Structure 1
Amino acid sequence: MLRAVHTTQRLLVQPLGTLSAASRGRRAEQGHPISTSAVLSGNMKTRANLADARRIVVKMGSAVITREDECGLALGRLASIVEQVSELQNQGKELLIVTSGAVAFGKQKLRQEIVMSMSMRQTISSQERKGSQMLLAPRACAAAGQSGLMSLYEAMFLQYGVRIAQVLITKPDFMNDLSRRNLQGTLKELLRLNIIPILNANDAVAPPPEPDKDLSGVISLKDNDSLAARLAVEVNADLMIIMSDVNGLYTSPPGQPDSRLLHTYNPLQDTHITFGDKSRVGLGGMESKVSAAVWALRNDVAVAICNGNEDKAIMKIINGKKIGTFFTMEEATGMPVEVQASQARKGSLVLQSLTGEQRATIVHRLADLLLERQVDILAANKQDIINAQEGALAQPLIDRLILTDKKLETLATGLRQIADDSVNDVGRVVSRTVLASGMELRKMTVPIGVLLVIIESRPDALPQVCALSICSGNGLLLKGGSEAVNSNKMLHSLVQEALEPLVPVETVSLVSRREDIGDLLEMEEYIDMVIPRGSKELVKSIQEQSHGIPVLGHSEGICHVYIDKDVDPEMAVKIVRDAKCNYPAACNAMETLLIHRAHLNAPLFDKLIDMFKQEKVKINVGPELNRLLKFSPTSPVSMRVEYGSLECAVEVVDDIGSAIAHINKYGSNHTDTIVTKDEESARLFMKTVDSACVFHNASTRFADGYRFGLGAEVGVSTSRIHARGPVGIEGLLTTKYILHGSGDTVQEFSEGIKQYQHKRLPTSSIHNAVDFTNNEYEVPL
């Protein structure tokens, strides 16, 4: 890894990372402008650091700003980029732009002149027109297009109150020390005046390509990618963003079967990259962009390559969003995620081959280890709590982190229940059908394959999820909350210790970095289902990022309690109190209370308000209730809010039909309950409310895997396919069909030699858990 340092005589090379404060001072004395945030440039190791970038170089490739016909500019994309650059400039950052487009702009201009100079015959003949256009020289196009391109930029940027300046550069400008110092001085002054320099290679006079005469460690200027990299290093930029027409760097050319987008690229570790051809326009391709990016990275400039067609791509990168490819020298800790996913897939096959008793043995061993290693677990947990307190984590989140002896004992008991109850779940015959004489079709439960589960900061969720995955025969990739990193590592080591005698320990792996999630979400060849457990923002983000892998979960828990006209007041108050106050942060806590209009001026309404006041619950009044009350607590609010705290919405409805309509419109299809004495109203409510869980005279807090007798849950699903409600072991299984015949062919049935019977058989007459390791099937003759 080498860093190029300029002197007045020649280009020298020094090791990366050795640029001291004194060195930076000498660079400033020699005419090298130093960004006020230059000290940060070497610290841009993760996407989270990019928000601190002050001096930013944005390189726009020809494929981004040029139309498909290569004549003229794509004004919509260009306007979006200008808007983002202006926003950052007006925030106090320093932006420099390296642009293409002069040739395309000039081609459009010169094409009109050629058409005007044609004879009528040439104008009519498409072949002659096409031949004439082929004569357009790129240098002439560049000369004709530069003025128009800059006029367009100036008009666009002026809409945001931003001034620009044009700087044309050729390779000799960097080879000559005096020219280079003049360039640096010009750029420094423009940045001081809050003007955005727009740079481009002067293609009208650029010399023809020559053998690379640059010294070792200095990039050769072959295209705008290398120009942007050289410029970023010269001005000590914190970040360089290269915008292209692809989503980033792929392991192989996009479109190939095994091609995968790399969200993070380390040139020292990720060496197996296959490059394709360059784009339809422009001089460089992805290989050129990567070479320029790596050179800039080795000179302490953070780099991201993204798709310029993506909406708000620049702002998303600055805000740390996982789009494009981020280049970093930070070495990934632990095993590469692709290897983890591959090994989890192989381990899942071994896990599936075990009997139900063997899988239960693993989980029983895990339960024993939780009690045997209590001291070690609590010590790791204590460190997490200390770190959380020092990091000023909110107290409710700290409470989630805490493990105790009692919690571990309860957890161990729950794991044993899961193990005992799940022995016959995998391989269970769901149905049997005799298709014809000598042919039996069986439908049976089988594991899904490999799960990616993202859990919140509760460390006690890790053993539960692992137990459910093991008992269901699924491989598992786990990403725990960073707040519980020490607890998760300790608990995961116990899981691996329990696995070791029977299956590879890599069958259940812990994903260490948040950045790895984006890569895993593209590995549909290894991962079969994603289950995010956490905030609605997390779930929505995972759903948006997942490419081809089903996501099981819920983005919101907007649960309702409806108090009907005919109700027991004491029961109503008790249920509402429990639904809201038992655990306000839970996804099954009540967020909206619906009250029949008949109770508005009755004692029940006052009792509910008094209870909320006693429990310190903040009330947000719905629009209808706000209209009816003379003095409402607050102004009307949105009825689709998940508060997750001691806060809820209260609204009045005319009847049960209005309540059902309200829930189906504003709810999140999670859990809703009716409190009523009227059985007919209860039946109507439970039949027509479109939610995963619908209750009668019970708190919404019962929507839980443990309370449902599932032992535990990996989450709650509000989707309408596969699994709905609390997801236990059954939700982690799918089905397959097993057909045993006697040399049968479809032709025999087509010719009438054999006849279909399609006779259903009872499943209770056979051993329910089928052993996949043998072929002892009973086939009726």
Structure 2
Amino acid sequence: MVSSGAVAFGRQKLTQELLMSLSMRETLSPSDNTKEDAGSTLDPRAAAAVGQSELMSMYDAMFSQYNVKIAQVLVTKPDFYNEETRQHLFCTLSELISLNIVPIINTNDAVSPPMYVQDDSVVPGTGKKGIGLKDNDSLSALLAAEIQSDLLIMMSDVDGIYNKPPWEDGAKMMHTFTSKDKDQVEFGQKSKVGTGGMDSKVQAATWAMARGVSVVICNGLQDKAIKTIINGRKVGTFFTDYAIPTSQSVDTMAENARVGSRVLQKLTPAERASAIHSLSDLLIEKQDRILEANAKDLEEATKGGLAKPLLSRLSLSQSKLKTLSIGLKQIADSSHNNVGRIIKKTKLAENLVLRQVTVPIGVLLVIFESRPDSLPQVAALAMASANGLLLKGGKEAAHSNKALMELVRESLSPVGAEEAISLVSTREEISDLLSMDKHIDLVIPRGSSDLVRNIQKQSQYIPVLGHAEGICHVYLDKDADPHKALKIVRDAKCDYPAACNAMETLLIHEEHVSGPLFSQICDMLKKEGVIIHAGPKLASRLTFGPPPAKSMHYEYGSLECCIEVVQNLEEAVEHIHKFGSSHTDVIVTENVDAAKQFLGSVDSACVFHNVSSRFADGFRFGLGAEVGISTARIHARGPVGVEGLLTTKWILEGTDHTAAEFNEGKRQWLHENLPVN
């Protein structure tokens, strides 16, 4: 660890000591500048001598909290450029590291302030050119190169290297820096807290990079910065002269998506619909290519031991593609009045009219796993709502996603918006994407509850639309029709058990437990291969029966479910609110009043009467498709189609209106609602 601060520590302490020695008259005199002069006249060598112990005391206190020992190593120019002292230095460092002691290295400014060595100087015994030893940036670079370090992390108070000072307009973060980029960077002032600056850091980093050391310049205030970098995440600016991938960076993709969104917004509804119709047709025309790519994914996933529910989601077929195509046409045919639709129109005053109109959210990031059919669905919804879109699919569907993405770009090309939607196929970590709050406006996860939950936890700055769990209930009321109950429960659990809208808990009115319906339900589920678990109340009633459920708040996602008994409708509603996930809940009953009470009381995104929970789906709702299911209470709930991907803006048109005229009584408020047509 190369550190600085000894001079600053010492100057602060010596200044205090000097002021204490002044007379009261000198201290209080308003015309006396002794206080200001005290610090500036101090010898930096003396300050360094005093401050070094203060600096090391601070580090000792910090590292001791983790039971880590430290050692102080002070160096000067001869320690690197004299062969004997150079060997002694590196023997010392090697011995300390072997003992798990962290060397804290600094220039010995008390003996000799940082001295300058021309870049063409050669280090004795190495034949290598040196670097000017003028600050801790150059010291760290020289040290890293001499000990053949794998990685040098240089910390600053900014996030990394920008093409110009970060506070200036147009400044852009450079995540990768090569020696060719140096002329493209405009540096600002030197550091306010030391002798170096960003210019110094770049010079030191490029010097070390040329000698085989990888370098990262990052913000030292970032939480767990070192650990994050070691784990391979994109933090700060990475210095390398290795071949840079030719594929676009995610930042560029996001910027293009923003521009592409504005292109889509300028199109007519018919032009946006034509692109969606084109994609729908391509799904059928190119189905052989799609299914061939999907077969590769299935083969690799099977060899890799992918779980059966995920394999089911990964699989595509002619029937799935046909259903997808139909859904996309629904989106196209209903997209004539999405963007730019007037929601509210108000005449505020004479010749002053306010309109609230729909506009796209901006740039969406949709992260999905296993289900390649999500890609064309979400792409079509983005086209219809004029949103830019970044898609991050799971590696298990890489071949399928690539084939489908080619069709998306082909459908967007005629309207000049092919950059509006991109597939992130680089090795970007999801956490990197979730930190791009300047480029991405909304994150939509689609996949397992673990995926959704992890994304909701990681996304600190970008809002997330989705649901972490799909714990759906079916309640068989005392007035349930047995035939309808059997039919609905079978479909809700067995049609597609991996889906988030599949039934996970069956609630049965207690009057059915001793009747034929309970036995019929259990027999039917067992015949379908469903593993049954008993809730605590049901288990207490049965002498012999299914094993008790480990939890009533659990999403099985397979041919398993829980059955629990309730005394009445009120208890069923209470159970749903306590253990449910606000996704989809169903009542089966012939009692109209009971159904009305259930539909009004259950606070879930979807509440059904006498239908399967499997209807909670964008396609089945007539939305064409869904970008996801939302259990949130803000913005959108349930299956989210085009409407859920729109926000609004206010447009005010007048002549020469000013607010002061209304305050002075020269103009009068009307606030008259006008028809939106």
Is the structural similarity TM-score above 0.5? yes
Q: Cα–Cα, structure 1 residues 273 and 231, in superposed 2: closer, same or farther, change >3 Å?
A: same
| Contact 1:673–1:695 under 8 Å retained in 2 | yes
2:147 corresponds in structure 1 to 235
1:362 corresponds in structure 2 to 275
Deviates more, 1:636-645 or 1:142-151: 636-645
Deviation at 1:710, TM superposition (A): 0.6
- 2:374 aligned with 1:374: no
1:756 corresponds in structure 2 to 670
* Identity rate, percent: 57
1:8 corresponds in structure 2 to none
| Contact 1:556–1:642 under 8 Å retained in 2 | yes
| Contact 1:380–1:490 under 8 Å retained in 2 | yes
| 3-state DSSP of counterpart to 1:359 | helix
Task: Pick from 422, 434, 447 the counterpart of residue 534 of structure 1.
Answer: 447
Unaligned runs of 5+ in 1: 1-96, 767-781
Q: Cα–Cα, structure 1 residues 150 and 336, in superposed 2: closer, same or farther, change >3 Å?
A: closer
2:399 corresponds in structure 1 to 486
Aligned pairs (5 A) from 1:450-469: 450-469=363-382
Q: 2: distance between equivalents of 1:634 and 1:196?
A: 56
1:71 corresponds in structure 2 to none
| Contact 1:704–1:713 under 8 Å retained in 2 | yes
Task: Pick from 642, 648, 672 the counterpart of residue 585 of structure 2.
Answer: 672
Deviation at 1:709, TM superposition (A): 1.1
Deviation at 1:731, TM superposition (A): 1.9
- 2:12 aligned with 1:100: no
Task: Pick from 137, 148, 155 the counterpart of residue 225 of structure 1.
Answer: 137
Q: Cα–Cα, structure 1 residues 700 and 448, in superposed 2: closer, same or farther, change >3 Å?
A: same
Q: 2: distance between equivalents of 1:483 and 1:627?
A: 44
Q: Cα–Cα, structure 1 residues 260 and 652, in superposed 2: closer, same or farther, change >3 Å?
A: farther
2:96 corresponds in structure 1 to 190
Q: Cα–Cα, structure 1 residues 755 and 237, in superposed 2: closer, same or farther, change >3 Å?
A: closer
1:316 corresponds in structure 2 to 228
Q: Over residues 188-239 of structure 1, what are the superposed CA-to-partner deviations in whole Å (9 max), with x where a residue is unaligned?
A: 2333333333322223223443252445865433322333333333333333
| Contact 2:234–2:432 under 8 Å retained in 1 | no
| 3-state DSSP of counterpart to 1:756 | coil
1:205 corresponds in structure 2 to 111
Aligned pairs (5 A) from 1:4-403: 97-103=1-7, 105-106=9-10, 110=14, 113-114=17-18, 117-119=21-23, 131-147=37-53, 149-150=55-56, 153-154=59-60, 157=63, 160-213=66-119, 214-215=121-122, 218-259=130-171, 261=173, 272-328=184-240, 329=242, 331-403=244-316
- 2:663 aligned with 1:732: no
Q: Over residues 409-457 of structure 1, what are the superposed CA-to-partner deviations in whole Å (9 max), with x where a residue is unaligned?
A: 3322222222223234344444555667777665544444443333333
1:719 corresponds in structure 2 to 632
Q: Cα–Cα, structure 1 residues 390 and 284, in superposed 2: closer, same or farther, change >3 Å?
A: farther
| Contact 1:626–1:636 under 8 Å retained in 2 | no
Deviates more, 1:441-450 or 1:218-227: 441-450
Q: Cα–Cα, structure 1 residues 670 and 108, in superposed 2: closer, same or farther, change >3 Å?
A: farther
Q: Cα–Cα, structure 1 residues 174 and 741, in superposed 2: closer, same or farther, change >3 Å?
A: closer
Q: Cα–Cα, structure 1 residues 315 and 674, in superposed 2: closer, same or farther, change >3 Å?
A: farther
Q: Which residue type is aligned with residue 100 of structure 1?
A: S
Deviates more, 1:598-607 or 1:506-515: 598-607
Q: Which residue type is aligned with residue 706 of structure 1?
A: F
Deviation at 1:598, TM superposition (A): 7.1
2:599 corresponds in structure 1 to 686
Q: Once superposed, what is the RMSD of the aligned Cα atoms?
A: 4.4
Q: Which residue type is aligned with residue 286 of structure 1?
A: M
Deviation at 1:264, TM superposition (A): 5.2
Q: 2: distance between equivalents of 1:366 and 1:706?
A: 17
Q: Which residue type is aligned with residue 377 of structure 1?
A: I
Q: Cα–Cα, structure 1 residues 663 and 334, in superposed 2: closer, same or farther, change >3 Å?
A: same
Deviation at 1:579, TM superposition (A): 3.9
| Contact 1:441–1:737 under 8 Å retained in 2 | yes
Deviation at 1:703, TM superposition (A): 1.8
Q: Over residues 503-530 of structure 1, what are the superposed CA-to-partner deviations in whole Å (9 max), with x where a residue is unaligned?
A: 2422333333242877766766765444
| Contact 1:444–1:737 under 8 Å retained in 2 | yes
2:125 corresponds in structure 1 to none
1:411 corresponds in structure 2 to 324
Deviation at 1:467, TM superposition (A): 1.7
Q: 1: distance between equivalents of 2:538 and 2:66?
A: 44
Q: 1: distance between equivalents of 2:547 and 2:137?
A: 56
Q: Which residue type is aligned with residue 417 of structure 1?
A: Q
Q: 2: distance between equivalents of 1:672 and 1:397?
A: 24
Q: Which residue type is aligned with residue 418 of structure 2?
A: V
Deviation at 1:708, TM superposition (A): 0.9
Q: Cα–Cα, structure 1 residues 192 and 706, in superposed 2: closer, same or farther, change >3 Å?
A: same
Deviates more, 1:743-752 or 1:563-572: 743-752
Deviation at 1:496, TM superposition (A): 2.2
Q: Cα–Cα, structure 1 residues 710 and 133, in superposed 2: closer, same or farther, change >3 Å?
A: same
Deviation at 1:285, TM superposition (A): 2.7
Deviates more, 1:485-494 or 1:596-605: 596-605
| Contact 2:504–2:560 under 8 Å retained in 1 | yes
| Contact 1:98–1:199 under 8 Å retained in 2 | yes
Q: 1: distance between equivalents of 2:146 and 2:441?
A: 47
| Contact 2:45–2:113 under 8 Å retained in 1 | no
Q: Cα–Cα, structure 1 residues 638 and 236, in superposed 2: closer, same or farther, change >3 Å?
A: farther
Deviation at 1:625, TM superposition (A): 7.7
Q: Over residues 149-206 of structure 1, what are the superposed CA-to-partner deviations in whole Å (9 max), with x where a residue is unaligned?
A: 4455456545545443332222322222333333232322333333333322223223
| 3-state DSSP of counterpart to 2:389 | strand
Deviation at 1:711, TM superposition (A): 0.7
| 3-state DSSP of counterpart to 2:280 | helix
Q: What is the aligned residue count?
A: 667
Aligned pairs (5 A) from 1:547-558: 550-558=463-471
1:19 corresponds in structure 2 to none
| 3-state DSSP of counterpart to 1:501 | helix
Deviates more, 1:542-551 or 1:306-315: 542-551
Q: Over residues 49-87 of structure 1, what are the superposed CA-to-partner deviations in whole Å (9 max), with x where a residue is unaligned?
A: xxxxxxxxxxxxxxxxxxxxxxxxxxxxxxxxxxxxxxx
Q: Which residue type is aligned with residue 309 of structure 1?
A: L
Task: Pick from 508, 512, 515 the counterpart of residue 421 of structure 2.
Answer: 508
Deviation at 1:125, TM superposition (A): 7.3
Q: Cα–Cα, structure 1 residues 313 and 528, in superposed 2: closer, same or farther, change >3 Å?
A: closer
Q: Cα–Cα, structure 1 residues 293 and 455, in superposed 2: closer, same or farther, change >3 Å?
A: farther
| 3-state DSSP of counterpart to 2:90 | helix
1:94 corresponds in structure 2 to none
Q: 1: distance between equivalents of 2:183 and 2:479?
A: 71
Deviates more, 1:622-631 or 1:451-460: 622-631
Q: Which residue type is aligned with residue 171 of structure 1?
A: K
Q: Cα–Cα, structure 1 residues 119 and 532, in superposed 2: closer, same or farther, change >3 Å?
A: same
Q: Which residue type is aligned with residue 195 of structure 1?
A: I
Q: Which residue type is aligned with residue 4 of structure 2?
A: S
| 3-state DSSP of counterpart to 1:553 | coil
Deviation at 1:705, TM superposition (A): 0.5
